Amino acid sequence: MNPRLPSLFISHGSPMIALEPGSTGAFLQRLGPAIGATFGRPRAIVAVSAHTTARRPVVLGAARHDTVHDFGGFPEALYRLRYDAPGAPDVAARVHALLGDAGIDAQNVDAGGLDHGIWTVLRYAWPAADLPVVPLAFVPSQAPAAQFALGAALAPLADEGILVLGTGSVTHNLGLLMGAAGRHPVDAPETEPTAAFRAWVHERAAARDWESLFDYRRRAPHAATMHPSDEHWLPWYVAAGAQGRETAPLRLHAGLTYGVLAMDCYAFGASAQALAEALATPH
């Protein structure tokens, strides 16, 4: 019997990661095989992305998902990329039922589409695009504790071979990408506020200081600068909630682009350490 799957939060950063993988793309290329070797191939992925939001949770239960190019002003090559993947209507129904059991008013719709926060990640981890995906839209106006509760409703999925994936960014202020000479280079040195915020997250997560993490807006250094709006950070709490408070979130990857976009990735749950060890094993 395969061990219980961890849940994951992946920082996807700019859509350009699909063309310029960098260290995070290289990490994701190792991640899919490491999950397969440690836990077996997931039955499906329930994906909570910063770019798929709604006024109440909505499960996208289509049998097939097309690639959504939900961005503008990027090279034409980016718009030619495709990651069309199967859906899983049965898993969507299960997600909807779990949310209902937890008292969460949600909707299950026969609609689909993978935003770039989902497909730019999955194209590296599972490039064949044959693993079923169920996007779950979340409510970005709800507080971190409510996002954690949304994830907690999904906790049974880990024992059913279904991976809960949050995708966003540990820091996300696009206004900081531009300097006097234009956009910062992708390898620009890290700014002090970015370093302070991501270090705070790492330290508070390792200490299982959930109360501080839930209240990050007041307690974390430079929180409003790193997240003028926090839709890119909130999926972290959904992924965390899917595994509960008992084990400390584990940072699997620490990355950075443009000096200000943190690309850190986390795993949650008792089996997160096993995944970290698999990732550290040379193949």
Res 183 pLDDT > 80: no
Indicate the SS3 state at residue 266: strand
Tens-place pLDDT, residues 184-234? 788 889 999 999 999 999 999 999 999 999 999 999 999 999 999 999 999
Q: Which pLDDT score, from 0 to 100, does residue 163 have?
A: 98
Q: What global pTM score does this model have? A: 0.96
Per-residue exposure over 106-132, b if at least 16 CB sit within 10 Å of its own CB, e if not:
bebeeebbbbbbbbbbbbbbbeebebb
pLDDT band (50, 70, 90) for residue 182? low
What confidence tens digit (pLDDT) does each residue in 65-100 have? 999 999 988 999 999 999 999 999 999 999 999 999
Whether the CB-CB separation of 246 and 3 falls below 8 Å is answered with: no
Q: Yes or no: say if 141 and 23 are a contact pair by the CB < 8 Å rule.
A: no
Residue 283: pLDDT band (50, 70, 90) is: low
The domains of the chain are located at 7-280
Q: How far is C-alpha 17 from the chain's CA centre?
A: 14
Give the model's pLDDT for residue 40: 95
CATH 3.60.20.10 assigned to domain 7-280? The reply is: no
